[in-house]
Amino acid sequence: MADFALLRDLLIPNKTKIFLLVMDGLGGLPMEPNGLTELETADTPNMDRLATEGIVGLHIPIRPGLTPGSGPAHLGLFGYDPLTYVIGRGALEAVGIGFDLQPHDLAARGNFCTIDSSGKVTDRRAGRISTTVNESLCTRLSQIQIPGAQVFVKMVEEHRFLLVLRGQGLSDKLNESDPQQPGVPPVDIRAEVPEAETAADIVRSFINQARKLLQDQHPANMILLRGFSHRPSWPQYQDVYGLKAASIAVYPMYRGVAQLVGMQELPTGHTIADEVTTLEEHWHKFDFFFLHVKKTDSYGEDGNFKAKVAIIEEVDQLMPRILALKPDVLIITGDHSTPALMRTHSWHPVPVLLWGRTVRPDTVQSFGERPCLAGGLGTFLSLELMPLALAHAQRLTKFGA
């Protein structure tokens, strides 16, 4: 991870601005031998010029060979080692749907499931009920009242929901009720430490009431809970980097992860141009901006090479508006690779371009995976990016005399 204590000691105030543009799943692969990747295929005159003036390389999201989920990949980019900064599944579910999890909230990931007349689980996913059915069941469960806790039940998708219990002293040291296999009843909730007894009582009360409310709702006639967790309390951008930071993202997951490291969410529209407009409107208010483009990843997962290329070109066309803001440090990259060839996230290193007044240019003149192999940044762990950004933003003083 970025050595936060060390960086904090070296921080010096400055007015410089850093802009981090993340095209989700940017890294790609050729669709056929000797072909070009999505980024290499895209016509990107603006980024090519920035690559010529700037410095490029490739970053490894987690460790070599490891394919990241979206959360860990962004944490790496933000300078937080994803192997150290791990978020519980319940809290991640909350982040993912944009639920404003408070520091003492106890969150859990819920599944609707099917049980038979003897109480044994027959389908851990309740036949993957529709999201519409899920929503009405969540409304039903939201009626549950428990002394000592406020109850939130939020639809996620298919059979999945989020449970949040808001109260005092609700420990997350509880076992999971999901037996992980059919043919046995849900596991009873137990406190794993004495101070979790209060939370265990409240969760058991929730489960008992849920069982009654769902008994006529076959196949979704029971629930399973796992991943009890709190909102993580992580170092904040202002504190460790001295940056007042903002996030611009359409999807709640990315705003949520950014919020966990102290970035302020900026409301924005649905297009990439809308996001750039949001950037322009708030440019004077923050030191650091994270702007997230989702569709490169979505089209990668669809296996739609051409559409992914088109999104990259759309971003390229917006670069003049971004450059007009005169960022001191401009970083263009992805959080991980999502090659259309593979239709999924992958472990491949991610192209990155860093542009600013103090970069030492390399010989690379275009932005693409193969050109980046020859770039001056080399291939490095994602979490090393933020110290470089701070350095180029003249926000770090000398180490030692």
Applying CB under 8 A, the residues found at the interface with a second copy are 3, 6, 10, 27, 29-30, 33-34, 37, 53, 62-72, 82-83, 86-87, 89, 92, 96, 339, 341-342, 344-348, 358, 360-363, 369-370, 373-376, 378-380, 384, 386-391, 396-401
Question: Rounded CA gap, 27 and 40, in Å?
Answer: 10
Task: Identify which of residues 65 and 267 has a Cβ nearer to a second copy in the complex.
Answer: 65
Task: Identify which of residues 167 and 378 has a Cβ nearer to a second copy in the complex.
Answer: 378
Task: Identify which of residues 89 and 282 has a Cβ nearer to a second copy in the complex.
Answer: 89
Q: How far is the CB of 109 from a second copy (least distance, A)?
A: 10
Q: How far is the CB of 314 from a second copy (least distance, A)?
A: 23
C-alpha separations of 1 from 169, 207, 353 in Å: 31, 39, 21
Task: Identify which of residues 298 and 379 has a Cβ nearer to a second copy in the complex.
Answer: 379
Q: How far is the CB of 367 from a second copy (least distance, A)?
A: 15
Q: Where does 177-284 show beta strands of DSSP type E? A: 222-229, 245-248, 264-265
Q: How far is the CB of 66 from a second copy (least distance, A)?
A: 5
Task: Identify which of residues 272 and 396 has a Cβ nearer to a second copy in the complex.
Answer: 396
Question: Rounded CA gap, 44 and 56, in Å?
Answer: 15
For 105, the token pair is 């909230």
Question: Rounded CA gap, 224 and 315, in Å?
Answer: 42
**What does 17-34 look like in DSSP terms, one character per residue?**
-EEEEEETTBB---SSTT
Question: Rounded CA gap, 229 and 206, in Å?
Answer: 16
Q: How far is the CB of 81 from a second copy (least distance, A)?
A: 12
Rounded to 5°, the CA angle 363-331-93 comes to: 140
Rg for the chain (alpha carbons), in Å? 23
- Give the single-character DSSP code of 187: P
For 337, the token pair is 């690779």
Report the SS3 class of residue 181. Answer: coil
Task: Identify which of residues 197 and 302 has a Cβ nearer to a second copy in the complex.
Answer: 302
Rounded to 5°, the CA angle 157-160-163 comes to: 115
Task: Identify which of residues 38 and 105 has a Cβ nearer to a second copy in the complex.
Answer: 38
Task: Identify which of residues 234 and 347 has a Cβ nearer to a second copy in the complex.
Answer: 347
For 278, what's the count of Cα atoms within 13 Å in the CB-facing half-sphere? 21
Q: Name the residue type at position 27.
A: G
